[in-house]
Amino acid sequence: RTVRRKPIPRPTSNLVPSLLSAKRSLESLIYRFGNPLCPHRLNSLPVHLRGRIQLSPVSSGSHAKLVIFDEKKSGKFCAVVGSCNYLSSNFDWTEASIKSRSQRLCAQLLGHVIASQLPSSGSWSPVARRLNRFWSKAMQSALKHPESGSHKITLLVDSDHYACVTKARDCAQDRIAIACDIYGVAAETSVLVPMRTAAGAGKKVQLYYSRPSKTLVEQGRAPVAGEIVSGLSLIHASNFHAKILLWDQESVAISSFNWMSTVTAGAKSRGSELGLLIQGPNISDRLWGLLDHTASA
């Protein structure tokens, strides 16, 4: 019998040219999330370039997805937080990320990355010490560049995501949407219960998912796209990997957290799931348009 296999993505090979295109003398540090990467792709680089890209020997044990870098012109740090598995994605599904130049946020995120590299006992590893130097620079930058702007940004860590769902339930005036990749058993307590309350209060609630979990399929409990259950609209979104929570026009949460399938209890370490909540005038307009288009596709 012929077994067809999906092609293995080559994200590392795709990222290397971009990382090496930096003109400044800097180090690019890759911290693996999940399965180990094949280091031979990095070893195939010319000798004088290998030292500029480093693969951490220790897995973070985290599901978070983030990129942190220092901008060439300003020297300020910048962070991208969202749903994309940069080291394993073929970049052919819908993803969502937030880019922020908040120096305080960058320092907070670096703190979580450092924590993922610390041993349970003993001395800090060279990777952790190197990251700590970057964290110190980010903290200095945060002191020089205080927060400003019309929008509020909040870092969501692990169980903060549950609180964000209940915040949407309590604060939304008209409309709530929750979108993620997998619809699983955890949806009942983490999303369905609070969203039924919101729907009962007259708010329009839409739940978007790309695929049901294996457990629900095996138990014959997979959701039926297009159904309206207890006032909640279930909408199937093909090739959708983004993790989004929206309410009204002023609040957007984007994260690595699968709102309807992830359980953070028992996570290896704090920071297993990271996301951002942005609140401010008309911040969610573009994403409402994306979800409306997904629903009509």
pLDDT of residue 89: 82
CB 156 within 8 A of CB 274: yes
Q: What are phi and psi of 278, to 5 degrees?
A: -110, 130
How many Å from the N-terminal Cα to the C-terminal Cα in the chain?
A: 36
| Plot region of 23 (φ>0 → left; ψ -120 to 50 → alpha; else → beta) | alpha
The helix (run of H) or strand (run of E) holding residue 127 is helix 126-144
Q: What is the pTM of this model?
A: 0.83
The pLDDT value recorded for residue 21 is: 55
Helices and strands, counts by H and E, the chain: 10, 13
What is the rounded CA–CA span in Å between residue 90 and residue 80? 18
With contact defined as beta carbons under 8 Å apart, do 241 and 83 qualify? yes
- Find the DSSP H helices in 51-120: 103-116
Question: In the chain, how long is the greatest CA-to-CA distance?
Answer: 64
Per-residue pLDDT of the chain (297 residues; tens, 9 = 90+): 333 334 444 555 555 555 555 444 334 444 433 344 456 666 777 777 777 777 788 888 889 999 999 988 888 999 999 999 988 888 888 999 999 999 999 999 999 999 988 888 888 988 899 999 999 999 999 999 988 888 999 999 999 999 999 999 999 999 999 999 999 998 988 999 999 999 999 999 999 999 999 999 999 988 888 888 788 999 999 889 999 999 999 999 999 999 999 887 655 567 899 999 999 998 998 899 888 887 666
Q: Comparing C-alpha atoms, which of 253, 273, 256 is closest to residue 154? A: 253
| Integer-rounded Cα radius of gyration of the chain | 20
Residue partners of 5: CB distance under 8 A and separation at least 6: none
Angle at 122 (CA atoms; ends 119, 124), nearest 5 degrees: 60
Cβ-contact 190, 160 below 8 angstroms: no
- Residue entry with tokens 């990320």: 97
Residue whose tokens read 């690019």: 28
Q: Do residues 117 and 127 lie in contact, with contact meaning Cβ atoms separated by under 8 Å?
A: yes
Note the pLDDT of residue 30.
Answer: 44
Torsion of CA 137, 138, 142, 144, to 10 degrees: 30
Which residue has 């399929």 as its token pair? 217
Provide the 3-class DSSP secondary structure of residue 51.
coil
pLDDT at site 8: 41
